[in-house]
Amino acid sequence: MLRFELLATSGHARRGRLTLAHGVVETPVFMPVGTYGTVKGVMPRSLEEMGAEIILGNTFHLWLRPGLDELQAFDGLHRFENWRRPILTDSGGFQVWSLGEMRKISEEGVRFASPVNGDKLFLTPEISMQIQTLLGADIVMQFDECTPYESKGQLTTEREARDSMALSLRWAERCRSEFARLENPNALFGIVQGGLFESLREASLEALVAMDLPGYAIGGVSVGEPKAEMQRIVAHTPRLLPAGKPRYLMGVGTPEDLVDGVANGVDMFDCVMPTRNARNGHLFTRFGDLKIRNARHKSDAAPVDASCGCYACAGAGGSGGLSGGFSRAYLHHLDRCGEMLGPMLASVHNLHYYIQLMRELRLALEDGRFEAWRAQFAADRARGV
């Protein structure tokens, strides 16, 4: 089940609405990453309160732990993690790519040793579809090969990228067939590959569009390539995808990346950056990034961002300033002491910032002021904290 409505546009930027089995998702949207069935350090209630409409789970990791028997006993991932809103599951392709020398790719699928206990495992497009059907995800991603930027210090050649892209297309056909055989009532997205070669991206896109899938993603970016190269692909590819279907940029990125992605026609984003950076004391704010570990914050009574209404900055009252919120000095102290509350509060703040950023983007698109909003966003971020 998937319905996508296009509500407003500004250049290539789009304001849309995605209706899925477990609810409505307003786009552009940022999706918090919940790899193991949890967004690290953040209570599900906090996600709901900050306005998260859809989160991610990961096929590969959930397959390994807790395992399919346990998930089946709960009728899938929604009940297991007690999340009532939509879920998107990654197919496992990126995780297989990240295994490096521990895996062997063939036409049939990928053989690898489990990073958990060393068991010999085999993941195929069909098995990925079977796992994701059991998980009950609202959006299921095709199993693909994530084309690397380089291997063993050597840049991926056009021929290597073409072979990888062609394999992903054959796997997409197998995913589509298995998805239909399983009578999965949810939505299957294809993934555009092709490395850093525009012609290959176009060939991948054309073949996937011919499959008439409910939605499409751009994969194989933010995998070690220079930022300018990623930006080139993001400027080229999303706008070529069907206008009437959702477009998803996988694994990207900074606030600036999200705004640029929207300007280039992207509707959906995910990234571990808000929570991963939070655990390292790196916080995103309207006025630039803040590193809470810096000594200058030791006695700073200000909140992380006085304009932010998250629990870390404003407390339960949500009134801004210090009314019920926590100071930079306190978060600095927690980080220095290794207290778990520190990264928890930082994660709440970063995710709230990303979700609020998308909310402001949507309002700007609705009001026909996207370019003015974008200029103000850049000026605010450049101001610095």
Residues catalogued as catalytic = 90, 270
* Nearest alpha carbon to residue 315 among 46, 30, 32, 83: 46
Angle at which helices 227-236 and 198-210 cross, to 10°? 40
Q: Could you give the strand order of the β-sheet that contains 13-20, starting from the edge strand earlier in sequence?
A: 2-10, 13-20, 23-27
Q: Provide DSSP, 20-47.
A: ETTEEEEESEEE-B-TTSS-TT--HHHH
AA letter at 54: I
Tell me the C-alpha distance between 378 and 375, whole Å. 5
Cis peptide before 238 (omega within 30 of 0): no
Q: What are phi and psi of 284, to 5 degrees?
A: -95, 135
Per-residue CA distances from 356 to 122, 353, 372, 376 (Å): 40, 5, 17, 15
The number of CA neighbours under 13 Å toward the Cβ of 75 is 4
Tell me the C-alpha distance between 138 and 170, whole Å. 23
C-beta atoms surrounding 374 within 10 Å: 18
Tell me the C-alpha distance between 234 and 278, whole Å. 26
